[in-house]
Structures are given as C-alpha cells and as structure tokens.
Structure 1
Amino acid sequence: MSFAALAGESVFLLGPPGIAKSLIAKRLIQAFDNSSYFEYLMTRFSTPEEVFGPLSIQELKDNGRYLRLTDGYLPTAQVVFLDEIWKAGPAILNTLLTVVNEKTFKNGSDIEKVPMRLLVSASNELPDEDSGLEALYDRMLVRIFVNRIQNKQNFKSMLTVGTSEEAKIPEGLAITDAEYHQWQRELNDVALSDDVFEKLYQLKTMLEASADEHRATLSEADLYVSDRRWKKAVKLLKASAFFNGRDSVNPLDLLLLQDCLWNSPESLEIVRTVIKDFALNHAFDQQEVFQQIEEGKEQLEEIQEEIEAEFAMPLSMETTTGLLRKDVYQYDISNAKSYKVGPATDLVKLVLLQSNMSVSESEKGDSRWVYIAKDELSRAIKEGAVRFMVM
C-alpha cells in the first residue's frame, strides 16, 4: 500500500467488517507532511453533497453558479478512505471515476485539480457483474484480500496492546509536497529493460494460459486484466524499484503483481499459483541455470569416466581349484611404494576415482586418497571390490 500511495494509485480492500480497514488509511496519512484526510461510509442513501461537499447557496443566489464547497471533503483531501464503496449510487461513483482517472473535479463550470495521492476503498463484497462499475473497479490497481487475525500471538497482541490511530513519524521523515511531486517526475525515468519486459510478457502469457484452463469454473470477468491495468501496474513496479534505490525494474518487483491482477477470491488463488510458479522457475532464469547444471553434471560424468578408463587398474582374473571353485582377482603390488603413517607400516596410497568409495569399512567419506595395508589391499583385490590407482 505504501508503494501505491507513492505511485499515486488506488487500493481496494476486500474483507469482512471489523478488521480495522479504515485504520490502515489513517496510518498512511501520517506519512505525508501537513496532509488532509477524508473518510466516509457509503450507503445506498448517500448523496454527492456528503462526499464532494454541499452546494454554495450564496454563490447560487448571488451569481447563479452551481458551486460546491469542497473544503474538508473528498476533492481537497490527499488521502481518502471510502468504506462499503459499492453501496454508493451512480451519481457518486460516476463522479469518483473522473476523480480517480484524471485527478480533477468538475465544480460547476470550473475544473479543479484534486490533490488526492491515495484512495483506499473497502467492501465485504465485489461489484455485481453488469452493474456498470467495471471501469471504476479496474482503476483500483492494488487489491488486497484482508481477513480476521489467524495467528494466536497476533490475536493476543490485538487484545492486549493499545492501538493508536496516529503513527509516530520521526521529525523530518514525513513526505513533503515538494518531495512527493519530485518523486512523481523521477518515477518516469525508471527503466523497464527489454530483459524484464520479456519476463513480464512471459508472466502475462502464463496467466492467460491458466485463465483458459479455468474457463469452465470461472467467469471471463474473474480473469480479465485490461491493458490499462497492466499500464498502471508498471508504474507500481517502477515505484518499487525507485524506492529501493534502483534505476530500473528487476524481476523481484514483478512479484508485486499478485496484488494487482485478480478480480475475485477465486481468481486470486489462480494468480498466486501462477506467480509462485513464475517466481520458482522463470523469474530469475532458473531454467537456464538448471540446464547449465545438468550439462555440467553430464560433462563431469564424462570426465570421470575418462579418468577411470585412464587410471583404473586392470585386474586379471583366475579361478581357484579345490572343493569350491571361486573366481578371484589379482594385481602385482609388490613394487608399489610403501608408506608409514604413525605406528602403521607397509602401507600403500590409493587415489579414489569416485566420491564416497571405500576400500574398507574403516575408510568412509569424500576423501581424495587413503592409506591401506598391502595385505588388506590384496584381499580387496581378490574380491574385486575396488577400482583404484596405486601411487
């Protein structure tokens, strides 16, 4: 929501009543220096005067002008919270559409600039299909599904810790008007590189493919993402990059899109699933890395086979006679160099050709070489239990 405020975009909160949705907006206002706030609970009986300001009787009487007194109402507020927004009538919502889209308000014959930086709207329901509210809903870029507290410790904190509607912002950290407008200009300079665009388009393609798979269970409206919303979403991505100290969008920013591209709780699950798949397998070129790892493994196996073929000892085999016939292997190690390690003498040094190969129960692990008594080695050779190079 902070990025939405800094990018000048709107937020929609979907969730049951009584979960402090309005508190979120009241806290955000504290981030701005000398900012104004407007809050209103919509009902089907709400009138434009309650939201946009009453008519000036004096102006109408003296000059015959239809003018609203907007001071203290939505047209002069920087942060706005509208609860149960879909209960409002067409007269309010149609005017609100222009305010959100153009940041202007038609007051009589005058077009007034609206200083609104953030509109937070909330409801426990979605607008009805074919209600004519699709255009307004589409302009609410960030959609957040909020629910009751699920975590036990968080629930305890909510019950026992006092909650202030005013957040304490250290002096000098509140965002001034000059800073805000300067940032808006600088956001336009944040780059969307060709590489990140390709990833964005890949995500778009994945979402559309998933939408096709769910046509039988979800309506087209649930899965529709307009070009306008993609355009507005890129501005949010640029805000994420800018306020993280970068001059270009990177793949990590794309994960924010999970809160921009859903229209209903059902489509939210689909969007989250697709973006999770995208993040795990595509966002950071994982498939290329996996391919390189597999190629590296194949090359390593080839090198290992070449080393074994080059240095492995060819053992001769003979069949013993007696009551039981048995195949045994032999190799002449009489000329192998002898080593002494501690009290042990007459040892030979073996270089392992494969990781975790052992010539005895006492030698385990990923060693490069081992020392072994010649007589023990002879027994291992006879059993054909080891491939090695004698040093």
Structure 2
Amino acid sequence: MRRHRRHGAQKISWGAGVIVEAFLRWTDKARSGDRAKAAKALAQAYLEATLPKEKQASAYMAMTYLLDDPSPKVRQALAEALASAHDAPRAILMALAEDQPEIACPVILNSPVLRESDLVDLIGRGSSVTRALIGARPELASGACAALAEIGSECEVAILLENHCAQITPFTLRRVSDRFWEDSSIRNLLLDRDDLPADVRHALVLHVGKALASAAMVCHVITAARAERIVRDASDAAIALIAGEVSGPDIPFLVEHLRKKGELTPAFLIHVLCSGKLDFFAEAISNLSGLEERRVRSILATGRHHAMKALYQSTGLFGTVLEVFLEATLLWRDAAEMPYGGAVHEVSARLIQKFSKVDADANLHELLSMIEKLHIGDQRQRARSFAHDLVAEAA
C-alpha cells in the first residue's frame, strides 16, 4: 500500500492534461505530505490558468474538497498558495480565513481578495486571534478599523494602534479613547500618535491627572487638596501646550471642545496669550464673543483701546482681570517687533511687575499665579538651554 501511495504522488502533476477528478479518488490513499504538495500544485495551476477551461471548474471543486481535509498541513499549503493572489477564489479564501490560526494567518494578513466588508464580518463573528490578525493587516481600511475599535479587546485594539499602516480615522481614535482611557498601555499608544485629535489628547491628559491624584502612593505623600492643585496646574500647562500644537481646522474644534468642558477660563486664556499661542487665543475669543475670527484678529492686532475693551467684555471679562488682558495684548504687539527671542519672558515679567502690587481678588490672584508659573517655567527652560549650549561648546 505504501508503495502504491508513493507512485500515486509521483503521478500527480497539475498540468493541462491531468484529469482533475482523479485527484478526489487519489486523496483517499495519499499521505498528508503528498496531499499538501498536490494542493499547492493545484492552486498554482488554477492561478496560472494552465488548466483547460473545461477543467477550471473541476479544479475549483477539488480545492473546495480540500477545505475539509483532516490534515492542517494540506489546508495550510492551500492557504499559502492562494493568499497573495488577486484572482484567487474568494469563497475558498473566506473559508480558510476562519480556519485554525496558522492557516488563517497568511490569508487575513495578505489576501487582496478579502473585501472590507469581509473583514468587518470576520471581526464580528471571528475569534480573538482572528481580530488580532485583522488588526495587524497592512493598509487596513477605515471601516474595519472602526469595527475592531468598537468590539475588540484591549490587546486587539493595541495591535491595531501599533499598525502604522492602518487607516484609522479621528472618529475611531475617539472611540478607542472612550472605551480604554483607563488602560495605561492604550493611553500611551494614543498619546504617541501625531494624528491624535487635540480634544482626545486633552481628555486623556485629564484622565491621567485624575489617575495620578488618586494613586495610593500620591495619597500617602501629600494631601488630597495639594494633589488636586498640582494635577490641575499640570493639566492647564498640558492643555496650553496642546493648544499651541494644533493648527488649521483643528483649532476651532479644540476650542469648542474646551468651551463645552468649561476649560476656557480666564486663567487658561491668559496662559495661552502670554505663551504666544495667538492663533488659538484669537479663535477662543471669537468663540466666546460670537464675533468672526477675522474681526477678532484685526482688533487684537491693531484695534484701539475701546475696541479691545469691548471685545474682552463681550467674553465676560471685567475689572482688573480685564486690565490684565488689555495690557498683555499691548505687550504682545510690542513683542512682535522685537528683533530677538524671549517674548514670553518679557511679557510675563512686565505683567507681574505691573499688577503684583494691585489689591487682588480671587480671580486676579489666579491670573497672576498662572503668569508667575509661566514666567518661572520659561526661566528654567532658558537656563537649561544655556547650560546645554555651554556643554555643546565645551565638547
């Protein structure tokens, strides 16, 4: 019997003259290794169109028959032979994509035949391994990314985020953030992305701050009130940094997000203004005042005192707080003419000098505290840069 099988395996050659139907009888006697070789040859012949037209349907039936072969090696040989082909039979590939992981892997990762809708279906009814493989698929389409973000586990979504070729939309990133903001590994993967929407980055920063404030080690070292204050200061600084990095159409979106969250406070706005993030500041004032952004820019850049005062009053700023914003705006006009850097240092220092002796209510005190922190932070950064330059020159 063994001798007969070897002889049969040697005769299997999927050229144009072979009788494909004989394959079905031969598989009952052939070894799994021989069947795997024959499956590969059959698939290659089918793809190369070397079979006569009348035998094409028979070859398809033979490959369909192999889907039920008890040996994984046979099905894997078929999957590897068909996986990368553009004209491979879709129905057979779909069946292989739901087979054992080692069989499904080359099909899910490489097959150009699988449609986006096929992948979405596989995400919905497949196993965790299936979803993980789809998450790693190169150039994964946006619809499949959205489906995986909706129902995938932390591990599966992490694989998706690590797939830099995946077409992940801002909406999908927001959904991932909504579902997994408590997971530190997911948060880090999101925050490392350059295409993360600014509003999502802001939300994650706040989540990180809350998690830090409630950490057991922090609670044992400092009081809850101090922890909350530290986290709040750090969050304000982070938000201001995010505000300076956004551009174009992302600016109005982030401004509106912060307004809804109640984050466009006078302290935050003075931080943004004194930091020189003027595009964001103008959009924020436009949002709060209801004036067109172009008109706001014009008033901030060249408007007279009464126009600036009316603008800021329309946002709800009055009294000494209003005076701080008026002075800061004028200082930035002068800073724009400076032939050297250091505008942030100059503006913040002069504001502190002018208003530090004014009787401050709670609102003004909060503004001056923010300006002073910004001033100190800028001094420290300048000192670090100076030290770095000295070391570089010495080297």
TM more than 0.5: no
Which of 1 and 2 has higher RCO (CA within 8 Å, sep 6+)? Answer: 1
Larger radius of gyration: 1
From the two aligned structures, give the one with the greater strand fraction. 1
TM-score (norm 1): 0.31
From the two aligned structures, give the one with the greater helix fraction. 2
TM-score (norm 2): 0.31
